[in-house]
C-alpha cells in the first residue's frame, strides 16, 4: 500500500467536507489527514487528503469523489512533483535550565518560539512530516504538554490550471 495525496477543488458550501469524508469512509479507506482552506478561486476550497491504498483502489475513490456534485476536480498528485508542507504547534515543558537547549533545537529546525510562559514554551514548525516528527522526538525528553498538527497541504509544481478549466464549463448554481 502507498500513501496517496489527493487534492480536491470543491465548492465552498456547508456539508461538502462531510460528504467527501463519508464517501471515503464508505469505501473502507482511513483518512491519514485532511486539510481544507480557501483556494485562489472565489467560492472554491482546496482539500488535501492523505489516504493509504493501492493505486487502483484510490483511483476508483477519486472517480467517485468527482461524481459528488460540489466537487469540481480531484487529482492524485502522488506521482507528480509537488511541494508538501505541514504546520505543527508543540507546547513543551520548559524549566529555566532547559530553555537554552530548547531554543537551540528550535533554531536548528528553522522553527520559531511563538509563546513563552513560566513553565512552558510553544514552538511553531513548518515542513515535511519527517522534519516535524524529528523535532517532536527531540523535544519529547523535555515533556510534551500539547501538540496540534495541520496535516499535509500540497500543490503540484509548475503550471496547473486543471480546476480552472473545468470551472469554465460548469453551469452556475
Per-residue pLDDT tens digits of the chain, which is 173 residues long: 789 999 999 999 999 999 999 999 998 888 999 999 999 999 999 999 999 988 898 999 999 999 999 999 999 999 999 999 999 999 999 999 999 999 999 999 999 999 999 999 999 999 999 999 999 999 999 999 999 999 999 999 987 554 444 444 454 44
- Is 50 inside a domain boundary? yes
Dump the DSSP string for 61-101.
HHHHHHTSTTEEEEEE-TTS-EEEEEEEEEEEE--TTTHHH
Residue 55: its pLDDT value, please? 87
- Is 33 inside a domain boundary? yes
CATH number of the domain within which 58 lies: 3.30.70.260
Taking the alpha carbons at both ends of the chain, their separation in whole angstroms is 39
Q: Are 90 and 17 in contact (CB under 8 A)?
A: no
- What is the residue whose three cell numbers read 514554551? 121
DSSP secondary structure letter of residue 140: G
Instruction: Quote the number of domains for the chain.
Output: 2
d(CA 2, CA 77): 12
Residue 164: its pLDDT value, please? 44
- Is 169 inside a domain boundary? no
Do residues 12 and 73 share a domain? yes
Do residues 22 and 75 share a domain? yes
- Is 172 inside a domain boundary? no
Residue 160: its pLDDT value, please? 58
The residue among 28, 47, 80 that closes a domain is 80
d(CA 149, CA 135): 13
Do residues 60 and 104 share a domain? no
Q: Which three cell numbers stand for residue 152?
A: 499535509
The residue among 54, 80, 106 that closes a domain is 80
Residue 88 to residues 45, 57, 170, Cα–Cα distance (Å): 21, 30, 37
- Is 34 inside a domain boundary? yes
Mapping DSSP to helix (H, G, I), strand (E, B) and coil, where does residue 118 land? coil
Q: Are 149 and 136 in contact (CB under 8 A)?
A: no
Residue 172: its pLDDT value, please? 43
Residue 1: its pLDDT value, please? 78
- Is 167 inside a domain boundary? no
Q: Which three cell numbers stand for residue 125?
A: 514548525
Domain that holds residue 114: 84-149
CATH number of the domain within which 92 lies: 3.30.70.1150
- Residues listed for the chain: 173
- Is 40 inside a domain boundary? yes
Amino acid at each position: 500500500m502507498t500513501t496517496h495525496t489527493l487534492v480536491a477543488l470543491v465548492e465552498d458550501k456547508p456539508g461538502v467536507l462531510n460528504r467527501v469524508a463519508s464517501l471515503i469512509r464508505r469505501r473502507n479507506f482511513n483518512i491519514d489527514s485532511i486539510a481544507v482552506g480557501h483556494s485562489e478561486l472565489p467560492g472554491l476550497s482546496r482539500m488535501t487528503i492523505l489516504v493509504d491504498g493501492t493505486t487502483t483502489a484510490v483511483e476508483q475513490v477519486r472517480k467517485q469523489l468527482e461524481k459528488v456534485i460540489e466537487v469540481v476536480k480531484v487529482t492524485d498528485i502522488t506521482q507528480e512533483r509537488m511541494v508538501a508542507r505541514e504546520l505543527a504547534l508543540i507546547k513543551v515543558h520548559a524549566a529555566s535550565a532547559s530553555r537554552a537547549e530548547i531554543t537551540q533545537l528550535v533554531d536548528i529546525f528553522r522553527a520559531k518560539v511563538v509563546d513563552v510562559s513560566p513553565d512552558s514554551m510553544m514552538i511553531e514548525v513548518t515542513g515535511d512530516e519527517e522534519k516535524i516528527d524529528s523535532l517532536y522526538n527531540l523535544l519529547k525528553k523535555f515533556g510534551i504538554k500539547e501538540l496540534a498538527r495541520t496535516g499535509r497541504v500540497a500543490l503540484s509544481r509548475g503550471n496547473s490550471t486543471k480546476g480552472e478549466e473545468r470551472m469554465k464549463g460548469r453551469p452556475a448554481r
